[in-house]
Amino acid sequence: MKYRVLVFDFDGTIADTLGETRRIFNELAPDYGFRQVTEHELADLRHLSLKDLLSELGIPKRRVPSLIARGTGLMRGNIMRLQMIQGMNEVLVEMRKHVESFGILTSNTDSNVDLFLKTHGLREQFDFISSTSKLTGKAKHLRAIRKTFSMRHEEMLYVGDELRDVKASKKAGIPVAAVTWGFNSKESLETHRPDYLIDHPEDFLRLLAA
């Protein structure tokens, strides 16, 4: 594999958190005066960028940090019961054999990710967990990770499920693989032209020959 370091998003990429995220949002929504999200809306919401999503749900950007902090706190109570994306466990173990380092960059908390990985027997596969409370702050962290490992841009790959993950990677000059089973739809991800579009976890294995 040409990549020395693989960095993964967490929610929606490794952990199946979409349903839990909607449940938590609906629990918090009355406190902020926001409307709740029905399950049948999710298909349409998956096509939206972060900016359009916040607009559709009537969420001012200034309220986002508070929502994230409270939401990740509530998620901790259920983190050990959340499921992995089917097939990711085996694929992660196999891919780890072919790179120097594995890491996670997430908007969730370090402690939530750490507990989830330990629950699923994967913590030892990952060398670092980095979190950012800013929904649009991943580009800065990706650049910092690259510098920490003294890598050229093309030697690191970020894996995420949202348009903002693709945008952050491109802003940082880092190759990106977008998975289609997370929050944003395949159609919306395609429009932003990630380096790889991954429909099933086993599709990652083709990167081993890259």
- What per-residue confidence (pLDDT) applies to 210? 67
3-class secondary structure, 182: coil
Give CA–CA dist 121/123, Å, rounded: 6
- What per-residue confidence (pLDDT) applies to 11? 96
- What per-residue confidence (pLDDT) applies to 9? 97
| Terminal C-alpha separation, the chain | 5
Q: Is the pTM of this model over 0.75?
A: yes
- Residues of the chain scoring pLDDT < 50: none
Radius of gyration, alpha carbons of the chain: 16
Q: Which amino acid is at 57?
A: L
Structure tokens at 102: 């594995």
Average pLDDT over the chain reads: 94
Query: Which of these, 112, 114, 147, 150, lies nearest to 20 by C-alpha position?
Result: 112
Give CA–CA dist 95/72, Å, rounded: 28
